[in-house]
């Protein structure tokens, strides 16, 4: 189902926060892509996004994108609760799919969507953009090239600058499926192995309203990988100094570490201290280039008929880990992922 055309004609479904980012990238910075149509249930949002990016067509009903014979691939950026259905319909329409994370919070729905993709033989890439960040990619390369020997320990620090609104927390699937999901993906990506067991210690230390909404805001998840590596993910919904995104991997021959990205490298020294500006504040600033790189990788995979770098299985596995992490907290015990998979 690969196309031999020089360009891939794209439809975007969902012109919200992330849809606008992908639209701008595809319109301006991905020469092998042509944006053909934007859909959003808010026709006004679709029209504004189309106008902004020189896209000829804007529609309210996503099925108009699927019915358009001129569209080769669809970028799904609508709300999470629509992803599984739209992925299934897009596969049935014979179009390739880039789907924002997560595919769904429900494993049965994810499996049904992945089955539809498999049956249709179309390509699917999931939007775990951090894999395409230059820092994280360098850590992965250090591991792949044996620069640190055999990895033994992984530490991921991932703290947001501020919690999202409570209205979002209520529908987001909770800390583990909304925020930690990126870190679960990063853990699997960096170590190159599956996680078999998780143990969670967590609490509500930032805002009692988050607890009242049934969620957590502070957590450490311990990971046991199939290859023996032990990992930790340390999350907070609020780091007062900004977006805190760091990783260390320690191995038999050394270690590799990445620090936060800053808007500049200036260090101010005076008689009392040495100081610098705060890190880049949130994901739109910190991960801008990775959003572009993942889109280029998707277009290349379709046009060159190579495997997509983030597969449907990569979309499923972190959801399993998120469900297991919450179960571990609720039941106050380590949880093996097979327990969740067999439910």
Ligand X SMILES: NC(=O)c1ccc[n+]([C@@H]2O[C@H](COP(=O)([O-])OP(=O)(O)OC[C@H]3O[C@@H](n4cnc5c(N)ncnc54)[C@H](O)[C@@H]3O)[C@@H](O)[C@H]2O)c1
**What does the binding site for ligand X look like in residue numbers (CB under 6 A)?**
13-19, 39-42, 45, 62, 77-80, 82, 100-101, 127, 129, 283
Rounded to whole angstroms, the Cα distance separating 228 from 72 reads 42
Q: At what angle do helices 180-191 and 312-331 cross, to 10 degrees?
A: 120
**SS3 labels along 278-327:** CCCCCHHHHCHHHHHHHHHHHHHHHHCCCCCCCCHHHHHHHHHHHHHHHH
CB of 319 to ligand X, least distance (A): 12
Q: Indicate the DSSP class of residue 145.
A: T
Question: Nearest-CB residue to ligand X?
Answer: 16
CB of 99 to ligand X, least distance (A): 8
User: Which residue's CB is nearer to ligand X, number 127 or number 318?
Assistant: 127
What six digits make up the tokens of 105?
């919070």
User: Which residue's CB is nearer to ligand X, number 42 or number 306?
Assistant: 42
Rounded to whole angstroms, the Cα distance separating 162 from 257 reads 24
CB of 74 to ligand X, least distance (A): 11
User: Which residue's CB is nearer to ligand X, number 42 or number 150?
Assistant: 42
User: Which residue's CB is nearer to ligand X, number 77 or number 187?
Assistant: 77
Written as one string, the DSSP assignment of 201-263 is EEE--S-HHHHHTT--SEEEEEEEETTS-EEEEEEES--TTS-EEEEEEEETTEEEEE----S
Rounded to whole angstroms, the Cα distance separating 198 from 232 reads 9
CB of 173 to ligand X, least distance (A): 9
CB of 336 to ligand X, least distance (A): 27
User: Which residue's CB is nearer to ligand X, number 72 or number 89?
Assistant: 89
Mode of pairing for the β-strands spanning 96-99 and 268-269: unpaired
Q: Which residues contact 88 (CB under 8 A, 6 or more apart)?
A: 112, 113, 116
* Ramachandran assignment for 251, one of left (phi > 0), alpha (psi -120 to 50 degrees), beta (any other): beta
Rounded to whole angstroms, the Cα distance separating 181 from 176 reads 6
CB of 45 to ligand X, least distance (A): 5
User: Which residue's CB is nearer to ligand X, number 83 or number 140?
Assistant: 83
User: Which residue's CB is nearer to ligand X, number 64 or number 209?
Assistant: 64
CB of 314 to ligand X, least distance (A): 13
């Amino acid at each position: 189902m690969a196309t031999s055309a020089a360009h891939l004609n794209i439809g975007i479904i969902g012109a919200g926060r992330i849809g606008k980012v992908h639209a701008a990238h595809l319109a301006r910075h991905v020469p092998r892509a042509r944006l053909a149509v934007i859909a959003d249930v808010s026709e006004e949002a679709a029209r504004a996004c189309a106008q902004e990016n020189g896209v000829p067509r804007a529609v309210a009903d996503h099925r108009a994108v699927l019915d358009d014979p001129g569209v080769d691939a669809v970028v799904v950026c609508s709300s999470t609760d629509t992803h599984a259905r739209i992925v299934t319909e897009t596969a049935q329409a014979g179009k390739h799919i880039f789907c924002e994370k997560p595919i769904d919070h429900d494993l049965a729905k994810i499996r049904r969507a992945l089955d539809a993709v498999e049956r249709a033989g179309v390509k699917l890439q999931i939007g775990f953009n951090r894999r395409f960040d230059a820092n994280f990619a360098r850590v992965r390369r250090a591991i792949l090239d044996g620069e640190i020997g055999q990895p033994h320990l992984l530490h991921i620090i991932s703290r947001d600058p501020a919690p999202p609104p409570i209205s979002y927390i209520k529908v987001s699937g909770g800390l583990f499926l909304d925020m930690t999901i990126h870190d679960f993906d990063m853990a699997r990506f960096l170590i190159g192995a599956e996680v078999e067991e998780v143990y969670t210690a967590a609490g509500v230390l930032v805002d009692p309203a988050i607890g009242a909404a049934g969620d957590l805001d502070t957590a450490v998840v311990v990971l046991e990988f199939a290859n023996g590596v032990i990992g930790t993910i340390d999350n907070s919904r609020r780091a007062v100094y900004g977006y805190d995104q760091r990783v260390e991997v320690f191995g038999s021959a050394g270690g590799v570490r990445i620090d936060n990205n800053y808007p500049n490298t200036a260090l101010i020294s005076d008689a009392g201290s040495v100081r610098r500006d705060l890190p880049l504040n949130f994901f739109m600033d910190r991960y801008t280039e990775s959003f572009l790189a993942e889109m280029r990788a998707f277009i290349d995979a379709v046009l060159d008929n190579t495997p997509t770098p983030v597969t449907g299985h990569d979309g499923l596995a972190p959801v399993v880990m998120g469900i297991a992490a919450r179960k571990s907290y609720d039941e106050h015990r380590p949880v093996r992922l097979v327990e969740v998979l067999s439910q």
